[in-house]
Amino acid sequence: MATLTRVCGIVGYVGHRQALDVVLDGLRRLEYRGYDSAGVAMLDGAGGLAVERAAGALSNLEGKLAGQDGSRFTATSGMGHTRWATHGAPTDRNAHPHRDAAGKVAVVHNGIIENFAALRAELETSGVEMASETDTETAAHLVAAAYASGPTAGELTASVCAVARRLEGAFTLLVTHADEPDKIVAARRSSPLVVGVGDGENFLASDVAAFIEHTRDAVELGQDQVVTIDRGGYRVTDFDGAEVQAKPFTVDWDLSAAEKGGHDYFMLKEIEEQPEALENTLRGHFVNGGIVLDEQRMTEQDLRDIDKVFVVACGTAYHSGLLAKYAIEHWCRIPVEVELASEFRYRDPVLGRDTLVVAISQSGETADTLEAVRHARTQRARVLAICNTNGAQIPRESDAVLYTHAGPEIGVAATKTFLAQITANYLVGLALAQARGTKYSDEVAREFEELAAMPQAVRQTLSTVDQVRTLGRELADSKAVLFLGRHVGYPVALEGALKLKELAYMHAEGFAAGELKHGPIALIEDRLPVVVVMPSAKGRALLHSKMLSNIREIQARGARTVVIAEEGDEAVRPFADELIEIPAVATLLQPLVSTVPLQVLAAEIARARGYDVDKPRNLAKSVTVE
């Protein structure tokens, strides 16, 4: 059975430095993208190709390298890889880079080559013996064959183009050849790859964090494009070899943003960065009294004509989409459906020119969401992307973009990007309300002002979470935790449960509190922790009273109630075994503060159980295949 690479960290370098140092530094910053195995390939300029691989964490590879003759890895050109596999053993044998039989070609790969079985059978029929179970190795042998003979003989870029045309699926390939030691060629289709442009040196990576220490100048690659880098620069072509113009951009954050900054875990740092993430997401989006989007390729008339909205997303982004529904329907009075991106195109949704599809993806490369976008475009729907990654594929294929500008998020479990997505969703809602005239300009301005006050509310929330940390340690031995919410508190309950499942590997479920008596109440037992997200007593008095009834029901059956409520809500105090107070804010904005204690709670429970909160098992930061 093949070992198919789902997502990974890729780094390539050609320049004047010791390539091994540059590559390993880059891999350390990308290890969050995959940590089942790691490997490097270095070109020595004298016809040699030095490769080392190791299963497990990057530290295992570093240990292997430390015990070897350092002269093997003194090249100024090389590449590396950290891997995360969907199935199949993460062994030394299956780790990247993979080589051809002669040891001249090395390949690292992100994605899946969907027709690899047919290609492998073809190679084996021709006498090639495979050294691994992976789909990636087929690419190494195919490039070697193209380079050895035929119209692309002796031309690495042409050989890679020829092979890329034969591959099906989503992939990023980096290829080196011992006979062209100062060159790396890469091909991409629906999988992340960015070029870093330096002075006498150039970089390739699946994320700009890999090379931000050396340069902030970058180039985004389009779909089905090949890039060749050497010391002097880069050249981009399509898969047929025709030269194309790539789009340069400047990375607007520095190396310190990708470091832990004194925290034990990236996730803890990123939780504390949430006020800045919200400020950066809001910045520049209210100009001359109105909401503006990024890279908008839709007219105001296009927005006015929208009569239905679909929100498509996965995981945490899906929960932010549920909140978008509340805001857009309330402000714009148009129907909104929220869809799991993985289900969207398979159920044949009714779409047209007056439909807006809002695609939410932190990475901008999420495969299910990307395919949902493509399906929407084939149905002539408008697409607006909400994304945290400049130059990613989903924004490039959309009619408009709103970047969240949350900065790099290294922890696999989304925190600051979730709050930034909620904020961006609300900006989209206000933009639609503005265009459709369902809110006057002064009303839009007032809603934006309330949104602009939220970073300070989040700071206030963060200053009071020591109680939550203590509670997390107390709950670490619990078998399960339930989460209840109403109205906008329901998506928050879902997100709280997801965080606990992701980080602490506990059974956790989020429920709409009104559904409690329709089945879930059977789960209540003595001392079972139940986290309740209370609606505002002022803004949602009826829902507040109904939630109080829910708390009484579960408390009467022995549950331990952990209640998140706004400051001054004295009515709930007698029914809360643990009361966590948050700032009183507008109803639609409450998720931006009520989510924070749940993030901290999940992290503390996981830490108390001895787990790495940055690298939860079986998960990767970006899912770039379906």
β-pairing verdict for 480-485 and 529-533: parallel
C-alpha distances in angstroms, 223 versus 172, 238, 365?
Answer: 11, 8, 12
Nearest to 314 by CA among 343, 274, 293, 288: 343
Q: Which of 8, 161, 314, 387 is catalytic?
A: 8
Sheet hosting strand 225-230, strand order edge to edge: 98-99, 105-113, 169-177, 184-189, 225-230, 233-238
Using CA atoms, how far apart are residues 376 and 353, in angstroms rounded to an integer?
Answer: 10
Nearest to 234 by CA among 160, 172, 182: 182
8 is known as an active-site residue = yes
Nearest to 554 by CA among 541, 563, 542, 565: 563
Q: Which amino acid is at 264?
A: D
621 is known as an active-site residue = yes
Using CA atoms, how far apart are residues 83 and 29, in angstroms rounded to an integer?
Answer: 13
Q: Which of 269, 439, 501, 621 is catalytic?
A: 621
Burial call 223-232: b when 16+ CB within 10 Å, e when fewer: eebbbbbbbe
Nearest to 359 by CA among 350, 342, 348, 347: 342
328 C-beta neighbours (distance < 10 Å), count:
26
Tokens for 591, please give them.
């998720």
- Sign of the CA dihedral 261, 266, 270, 271? negative
What SS3 class is residue 480?
strand
Q: Do 462 and 272 form a contact (C-beta atoms < 8 A)?
A: yes
Task: Tell me which residues are annotated as active site.
Answer: 8, 621
